[in-house]
Structure 1
Amino acid sequence: MSSDPTSISGDLPLLDAAEHPELLPPAVHAALPAGARVCAIDPEVADTAALVEAHGVSLEASGNCVVVAGKREGEERVAACVVLATTRADVNSAVRKALGVRKASFLPVERATAETGMEFGGITPVGLPDGWRVLVDTAVAQAEWVLIGSGVRGSKLVVRGADVAALPGAEVADIAIGR
């Protein structure tokens, strides 16, 4: 993988994310890792497959973030899971075990968006509520750069994989299937 973040962004121009708060929710802007880039996109192509087709972004360097929850002894355990777009989160096994619950499920859309303050299809591990766990797949942590959601459907972030792994609440684990 290249040390140049533009190598994964296809034809999308990358901007210094810190200098473009208008493209990000306030909580995401406040939590940006150093060197993060942002690109404006048409919200209609925010889903990974559509973005890859429309702009030639790297599928192998694109990441997806899903929010899951489970209960143990009456206590709910919530986590955001970040995996490469070429895989999917192993919710029924690896994620469930990491959360220490018998059953893990995707958080309902309305609740995920309300609690994160982000748009569905744009949820990102950057700027999540305090105390949330962030399960980062090993492949994401090892990626030089990864293109992820920005909190809104009208932009994407490009950040170092190591920075995703260093976010508050982050834990690196093998949580993806389909490699």
Structure 2
Amino acid sequence: MRTWTIAGTLTVHPATERTDLLAEPVAKALASLDPDSLGAVEIDPELADTAAFCEAYGSPLGASANCVVVAGKRAGEVRFAAALVLATTRADVNGVIKRRLDVRKASFAPMDEAVALTGMAYGGITPVGLPADWPILIDKAVADSPELVIGSGIRGGKLLVTGDLLASLPGAEVIDGLAKPVA
């Protein structure tokens, strides 16, 4: 198994051996992925939010990526996408993402809707295992990262992944400028 330098104080397990740390759609998606490019860690669900996670476990904030579900409407049709950006940035929802979805207005999907559509816990939503028809918009800085911590679909776990693996997910689109620095 790969050695992960961003794990901090956490013990990394092969994700395929710890599917209890993954939401069901995430566990199902593992079958089509390179197992050496994925690790799973168990965390305190109360520490799932990125800043708390990084502080508690000694994982660098710059190696964390957040996945948000974005929705927009065009001609009565709701269009969804997932956006993955580094935790030190924020997704350009009303610029890049709005244009990519070709909608008049884009916003974060309501929590209950995002949870119902993904089969994942709010605060743990991850690009692995999302609905097949959703575009997965990945900031270039994420795709270029050698190691990242992302959600696992539940609040009691995290996935360790490579940017290459994320860029190779079905529906993934790497976009330069998808994220803006946090002001």
Instruction: String of CA shifts for 1:64-111, please: whole Å, max 9, x gaps.
Output: 000001112222211000000010101111111111112101100000
| Shift >4 Å, 4+ stretches | none
2:87 equivalent to 1:85: yes
Instruction: String of CA shifts for 1:39-63, please: whole Å, max 9, x gaps.
Output: 0000000000001110110111100
Q: Which residue of 1 aligns with 2:7?
A: 9
SS at match of 2:53: helix
Tell me, in whole angstroms, the C-alpha distance in 2 between the residues paired with 1:152 and 1:40: 10
Q: Provide closer, same or farther for how the CA distance between residues 26 and 177 of structure 1 changes in structure 2, counting only shifts above 3 A.
A: same
Give the one of 12, 20, 28 matched to 2:26.
28
Query: Shift in Å at residue 5 of structure 1?
Result: 4.9
Q: CA RMSD in A?
A: 1.2
Q: Which residue of 1 aligns with 2:179?
A: 176
Counterpart mapping for 1:95-110 below 5 A: 95-110=97-112
SS at match of 2:11: coil
Q: Which residue of 2 aligns with 1:75?
A: 77
- Number of matched residues? 176
Instruction: String of CA shifts for 1:128-150, please: whole Å, max 9, x gaps.
Output: 11211110110011101110000
Q: Which residue of 1 aligns with 2:53?
A: 51
Q: Provide closer, same or farther for how the CA distance between residues 30 and 55 of structure 1 changes in structure 2, counting only shifts above 3 A.
A: same
SS at match of 2:54: helix
Query: Shift in Å at residue 26 of structure 1?
Result: 2.1
Deviates more, 1:18-27 or 1:87-96: 18-27
Q: Which residue of 1 aligns with 2:163?
A: 161
SS at match of 2:4: helix
SS at match of 1:31: helix
Identity over the aligned pairs, expressed in percent? 54
Deviates more, 1:159-168 or 1:119-128: 159-168
Letter in 1 for 2:56: A
Specify every segment of 5 or more residues in structure 1 that has no aligned partner in the other structure, as ranges. Answer: none
With normalisation by structure 2, the TM-score equals 0.92
Q: Which residue of 1 aligns with 2:129?
A: 127
Specify every segment of 5 or more residues in structure 2 that has no aligned partner in the other structure, as ranges. Answer: none
